[in-house]
Amino acid sequence: MRHRIAVVGGGPASLTFARVLHRHDYPVAVLERDPAPDARPPGGALDLHEGLGQRALDKAGLLAEFQALSRPEGQAMRILDADGTVLRDWRPRPDDRANPEIDRGQLRDLLLGPLDVRWGEGVTEVVPGTRDGVLVQFADGRQETFDLVVGADGGWSRIRPAVSSVTPHYTGVTSVETSLDDVDTRHPGLARLIGDGSVAVYGVNRALVAQRNSGGHAKVYAQFRAELDWHTDLDPTDVEAVRSSLLALFDGWAAPVLDLLRHGTAFVHRPLYVLPVSHTWTHVSGVTLLGDAAHLMPPLGAGANLAMLEGAELAESIAATGPGDLDEAVRAFEERMWERAGRWAKITTAGLERLVSPDPAQALALFDEVQPS
Ligand SMILES: Cc1cc2nc3c(=O)[nH]c(=O)nc-3n(C[C@H](O)[C@H](O)[C@H](O)COP(=O)(O)OP(=O)(O)OC[C@H]3O[C@@H](n4cnc5c(N)ncnc54)[C@H](O)[C@@H]3O)c2cc1C
């Protein structure tokens, strides 16, 4: 028997879940509020770990395609201090496939493949326990019922209130994102600074990180400790005003490093929010959460990896489930997800404290602890 299953969202968690179900010929409705896959810029590249994101892609039958698309050389990492002194210059071995980088758009297209996503179908809420199952309320007023609704709709999930009253809180660290285009031809000095992978510069309560994406594109993240309203006097659409205020915040840093901000195009403000470490809930029949909706954590290379593995694991247990066992399969999945996500939430929360820290030596020490020599 096939259960009526919907997954809300079209991010890494949802698409991996749907793709693994598809591999098992199991139907699923994928409900995404964006009107089309390319409705928004997809964001920076992701590094997918061997035991997490890559394991999920293996379960979806997509590991070989990922290996062909991804950039192992993108694992390279250079660390500088605010004076521009290179403190570490780590490069992966040619055969190192532990954490290769892939552009988010490439990953999305890889996962989408044959999936028939219902674009432009934003969900406003779900109501479990109705006579016909879990009721899904759409933004345009329509309703539909399912046996299981999986909330994979990110940190500000509209599905989460059906199982938990918890909401994300601000970490005290803000990130402002900008981009460099045609970096090799237009900004060769910055291209050398960034190298094949990423460069991270750490100062007191501040960090500047730049990451090479494919096609000569680079993402730059200015991260700093600030009140949530640090920018109230700033018009966020005024690129030059945002640039000047960032340059003032990073005043005194080496000129070649500040060029990352001087040449950035538009700026996007992303205060970093998280859910409490070890967020769990009392199981609600017919509704569960995956990925950021369940465990939004600091962006230290784990969120998409966990989201994808959870999607793959839940899909496999559903595909292996008999008619009456769906609820038990979901319960068992939740226990496993909570345990693993709780561990990573602790690691990434402690990591953010050290990367954007009053003592920049903490960032270097963290790098030395996690990076293979
Ligand atoms: C700067 C930055 C860098 C990062 N780098 C990494 C990295 O290198 N490695 C890593 O593992 N993680 C990284 N992360 C974390 C990673 O981006 C997230 O953990 C991951 O995207 C979570 O996937 P998700 O599918 O759970 O949610 P999302 O990616 O947020 O996807 C949610 C989807 O749901 C849709 N949606 C939202 N609300 C609704 C609704 N009401 N109805 C229908 N659809 C809805 C959204 O449009 C979206 O498509 C980074 C994060 C940031 C901010």
Q: Can you spell out the DSSP letters for 258-299?
A: HHHHHT--S-EEEEEEEPPTT-----BTTEEE-THHHH---S
d(CA 49, CA 38): 25
Residue 373: band (very low, low, confident or very high) from pLDDT cuts 50, 70, 90: low
| Per-residue pLDDT, 170 | 98
Reported as a single tens digit per residue, the pLDDT across 86-118 is 999 999 998 899 999 999 999 999 999 999 999
In the block, residue with structure tokens 């981009």: 179
- Please report which confidence band the pLDDT of residue 353 belongs to, taking 50, 70 and 90 as the band edges: very high
Considering the chain, what is the average pLDDT of its residues? 96
Q: Does residue 159 register a pLDDT over 90?
A: yes
Share of the chain above pLDDT 90, in %: 92
pLDDT recorded at residue 324: 75
Residue 238 predicted with pLDDT over 80: yes
Q: Is 14 in the pocket of ligand 1 (CB under 6 A)?
A: yes
- Is 103 annotated as belonging to a binding site? no
Please, how many CA atoms are within 13 Å of residue 353, restricted to the half-sphere of its CB? 6
Tell me the CA end-to-end span of the chain in Å, nearest whole number. Answer: 51
Residue 314: band (very low, low, confident or very high) from pLDDT cuts 50, 70, 90: very high
- What integer pLDDT is reported at residue 188 of this predicted model? 96
Is 250 strand, coil or helix?
Answer: coil
The finding on whether 178 has its CB within 6 A of some atom of ligand 1 is no
Mean pLDDT calculated for residue range 148-162: 98
292 labelled ligand-binding:
yes
Secondary structure (DSSP) of 108-149: HHHHHTT---EET--EEEEEEEETTEEEEEETTS-EEEESEE
Dist. CA 12 → ligand 1 center (Å): 7
> For a pocket test of ligand 1, which of 16, 33, 125, 337 has the largest count of ligand atoms closer than 8 A to its C-beta?
33
Triad 147, 150, 156: Cα angle to 5°: 140
What are the chain's domains?
Answer: 5-71+100-168+276-355 (3.50.50.60), 170-274 (3.30.9.30)
pLDDT tens column, 256-311: 999 999 999 999 999 999 999 999 999 999 999 999 999 999 999 999 999 999 99
pLDDT of amino acid 42: 84
pLDDT, residue 39, reads: 95
